Amino acid sequence: MAIPEFYLKEIDQGGALVGLLIGLVVTATGFVTGMVYAIVVGVVMTLYAGLKLANARPRAKQLMPAPEFRSLVRVHPLPFWVCIRCHAMHEYDAKGCLNCDGRADYLEVTSEVDRRTALVAMGEE
């Protein structure tokens, strides 16, 4: 049985899928053994993991191929912000990428040195 696409949105987001499965197992074990504490813990785990899965955002796809994105970064007027992960470019600082919610890969480009840093981070030598 394949896992539905919905549950594969953000598996790496806090282990929500694993938490959901463990919560269901703990709940079932609680019902079988009659342990109220196990039932409560299992239900809480299941609800928490289910909410995490329901609110997970899909993984963002790269908006354009790397060579095209690098050439756009080379010529775009300063200042701008780029996301190395999904190849998004923003005209203002959104405190993180609006496409993929990335913060570590979100770079401010305000000078030619910053532009060169962004290009090197994208794999250009």
Residues 77 and 51: their CA atoms lie apart, in Å, by: 42
On whether residue 110 sits in a domain, the answer given is: yes
Evaluate if residue 20 carries a pLDDT over 90. Answer: no
Please report, for residues 83, 86, 89, the alpha-carbon distance to residue 103 in angstroms, rounded to integers and kept in the order given. Answer: 8, 11, 13
On whether residue 97 sits in a domain, the answer given is: yes
Total of domains in the chain = 2
pLDDT in tens, 76-118: 998 999 988 888 888 888 888 888 877 888 899 999 999 999 9
Tell me which amino acid residue 41 is.
Answer: V
Tell me which amino acid residue 13 is.
Answer: Q
Structural domain of residue 49, as residue ranges?
5-54
On whether residue 84 sits in a domain, the answer given is: yes
Determine phi and psi for 47, rounding to 5 degrees: -65, -45
Kindly report whether the global pTM for this prediction surpasses the value 0.75.
no
Tell me which amino acid residue 55 is.
Answer: N
Evaluate if residue 11 carries a pLDDT over 70. Answer: no
Q: Please give the order of strands across the beta sheet that includes 106-109.
A: 88-90, 80-83, 106-109
On whether residue 60 sits in a domain, the answer given is: no
pLDDT in tens, 21-80: 899 999 999 999 989 999 999 999 999 888 877 776 666 667 788 889 899 999 999 899
Contacts of 8 (CB under 8 A, 6+ apart): none
